[in-house]
Structure 1
Amino acid sequence: MSVKLFLIRHGQSLWNLENRFTGWKDIDLSEKGVQEATEAGKELRGEQIDIAFTSTLIRAQHTLDLVLQNSGETGIPVVINKALNERSYGDLEGLNKADTAAQYGEAQVHIWRRSFSTRPPGGESLEDTYNRVIPYFMHTILPHMEAAENVLIVAHGNSLRALVMFIDNLTQDEILQREIATGFPLTYIFNRASIDALRARFGSSTLA
């Protein structure tokens, strides 16, 4: 058995373009984001996709629509769940990142953005995001892969970083160095042994 998991971060959003903290704010794609999503779909043309998962936020859903249209995989089941939403930036959402650094200091903003367990005011840490993404992946998404279905997930920079951290078994320091580009498909290929390894790792963690 061999199955594929495709991960795509949404295309550039209007607030990505404006260098603002977005988080759970429901902001759509920029023109560049539409182009990125379209190109991502073209890259997946010829791949079989059996089911897709996305977040409740419009920038991810719009990206998914464009990916499916341009990959030729329209008509497949689509599951929308808030577990795949971006990390919440709480009180920082809507603020310009440079202005925020000027107000609180670059070091403090860097900690809020890049530490694994420190939460921004009123928001989530990457650890919090990990703790909602991974159980959802294991309980809801992985069974489709175990049933030999190829899966597409269109989500967000931090929700996908959490998933990549788990799949690649990265340390907290390693995931802080990992960037997920907008509109660029990442492809993982799993066999039964590698899926069983994920099950075993999840079963031995405190998240199970």
Structure 2
Amino acid sequence: MERLLVLVRHGQSEWNLKNLFTGWKNPDLTEQGVEEATAAGKKLKEMNLTFDLAFTSDLLRAQHTLKLILGELGQEDLPTSRDQALNERDYGDITGMNKDEARQKFGEEQVHIWRRSFDVPPPGGESLKMTAERTLPYYRSDILPKVLEGNRVIVAAHGNSLRSLIMELEGLSPEEILKRELGTGKPVVYRLDEDGKVLSVEDLAEI
């Protein structure tokens, strides 16, 4: 029985392009983001991968990415679950702020701490640790059991919600996961054993 899990970060969004902290705000994909998502679908099709179930966040950029991928696979009607548990990290008071402007206002070091520490949230927002505390229970209760049943599952979400899943899948420390970069629109393909342990991982950003 194949146990397949594919994680993909949404394509470039309008706020990615503007270098803004996006969080739970809801911009759509840019033209480049549409191209990235479409290319992801083509790559998965080349690998002869199809899916039984899809999961995505409550945000448009992830949903649009998934729609474009499934369109390339001819699976537009795939059963799909949407949940806020897979939303991007909430950046709180710095949401919508340009990252360079934030550095000028709060200082380079402070912004770096907010962005790259595991458990220090920006004012009014979430740390990566807090993001994982809502993302991982959903993964364990809703996504992983479907994979272990033999369903081929794709998850389209966000850099930090997916980092939470990758941290669990690959057994990474907080320090290690902070160094893990996820390209926009680049699928990561996992094959799991009957216990949910990773047998193989293929990062399509490296192909």
Query: Stretches of 4+ moved more than 6 A in 1?
Result: none
| 2:25 maps to amino acid | K
Query: Offset of 1:147 from its aligned partner?
Result: 1.2
Q: Distance in 2 between matches of 1:177 and 1:142?
A: 24
Query: Offset of 1:66 from its aligned partner?
Result: 0.3
SS at match of 1:88: coil
| 1:35 maps to amino acid | E
Q: Distance in 2 between matches of 1:74 and 1:24?
A: 25
SS at match of 2:3: strand
Match of 1:206 in 2: none
Match of 1:164 in 2: 166
Q: Distance in 2 between matches of 1:161 and 1:79?
A: 19
Q: Distance in 2 between matches of 1:31 and 1:74?
A: 20
Query: Offset of 1:48 from its aligned partner?
Result: 2.0
Flag structure 1 segments of 5+ consecutive residues without an equivalent: 199-208
Match of 1:60 in 2: 62
Query: Offset of 1:53 from its aligned partner?
Result: 0.2
**Paired residue for 1:94, among 93, 96, 113?**
96
SS at match of 1:2: coil
Q: CA RMSD in A?
A: 1.0
Q: Distance in 1 between matches of 2:178 and 2:66?
A: 26
**Paired residue for 1:77, among 76, 79, 91?**
79
Q: Distance in 1 between matches of 2:26 and 2:76?
A: 24
- Confirm or deny: 8 A CA contact 1:9 1:181 kept in the other structure: yes
| 1:89 maps to amino acid | Y
| 1:94 maps to amino acid | G
Flag structure 2 segments of 5+ consecutive residues without an equivalent: 199-207
Q: Distance in 2 between matches of 1:105 and 1:168?
A: 33
Residues 1-208 of structure 1 mapped to structure 2, 5 A cutoff: 1-45=1-45, 46-193=48-195, 195=196, 197=197
Match of 1:201 in 2: none
Q: Distance in 2 between matches of 1:17 and 1:40?
A: 19
Q: Which moved more, 1:64-73 or 1:15-24?
A: 64-73
- Count of residue pairs the alignment pairs up: 196
- Confirm or deny: 8 A CA contact 2:50 2:73 kept in the other structure: no
Query: Offset of 1:51 from its aligned partner?
Result: 0.3
